[in-house]
Structure 1
């Protein structure tokens, strides 16, 4: 058995801000994907994934008992497949901020949810919010608290514009330029990030009035501007706001940036060769980079592994 592929995602803008109603923009990233599988001779990795799915199935059962109006599953099919060794075969790196648990959640919903909302229907805002709500509860099993956006992005495989927590829409993004000099890229930090501890650091910081003020007057302001400029294809304005955003993150989100990257981050701001920002919750995994001239950025960051996500 092999299920359909579900892709990784990248939240280009909005990490942390969307908790406080900033705009956000998430895009599917087809370089990584995952699918549900059953094999006769499972690897050690597959056995580990299967054990995790057993626990997840149990969690979903409890979720359905507590909130029957939210979502219902075909548990006899799910449990039978899990008993047969079903696992999630995925190339999506875990703890890298590109939505590994989101793709898994999307695949389980797609295969086992009853009365599911499908990609083929007219996706009204209500339906998108309903899906996001279901996915948020499902993915909480992995993170303790989830917005539901990663699975939503993976399930629909469409760019999603977050206007606020209760206002989201599928959107189009400007076509990439195959010959463009500029790029959005991923920088591999070489370490794995854990979402839950990073989110709890953020929640703790929210108790400080100064931090809340900074979020509103700087972080959210620049995030919202970046989303708007990106969608309109206004590259110059996008880069000047991304630079400001990069500065704000370096000053106020230090614990989310692996220490060995503090100087690399500052160097980008000083030279304008590239600007870095968090990819997901940070703490490790990937760091997102923006460069008006990717060749220049590649030179400046030559000791790191970079992957292009989008070309301007």
Structure 2
């Protein structure tokens, strides 16, 4: 667990540094809430090989909350898909492989272009169903934000996945309980959230999305891909996690960091790491 915690700290540090060098806004709040989940997936859970990105038996990953692309890029860089400096050099520029939302045409290793919320799970359902028809045994894993699960297309996909007995499909939900301009329950009443997934017949796992041990245990306990029930791992997270002045702060859904803010953010991240390790 210590190694994964170190990698998540590295991811958050690099995320802040990129935010401090990029002149535009980065979706920093939701990136920070998803950092532990993406660290566990790319450095532990997903069966992928950065040196053979087209391996037929690889797991497929779909970033449904496409605005967390920076977090995914850095997780992939840490896993060895490419260099972190490559991201920093061109992030957000015209024709860059590292756009504000992921594009499979621009960046090999990305399985699916995403950005419009509510589309990732339906796409993952199609990928999982296609794999099942071809007799393939890999998993299709997707990461959603809880806000996008207010979209009707998500629940149509949830029903379709269970109807087609897609035990090879796993959805992680970054349940940080914040939308872009409000807290979730103020605009959309999600609760009782896990019960909604259970009502559609999914296997439901609830974890602390910042507890490496819990995340690893959830991955280890996933049903065999040949099973008939899809799984959702609902991760209780904090938007802006690790940077005290960003946590639970609607102003940091997206933003940029000047030199003083970057120094303050890195100091806060270091203090948070020290506090959690005591």
Whose Rg is larger?
Answer: 1
Whose strand proportion is higher, 1 or 2?
Answer: 1
Normalising TM by the smaller chain, what interval?
A: under 0.3
How does the TM-score come out when normalised to structure 1?
A: 0.25
How does the TM-score come out when normalised to structure 2?
A: 0.27
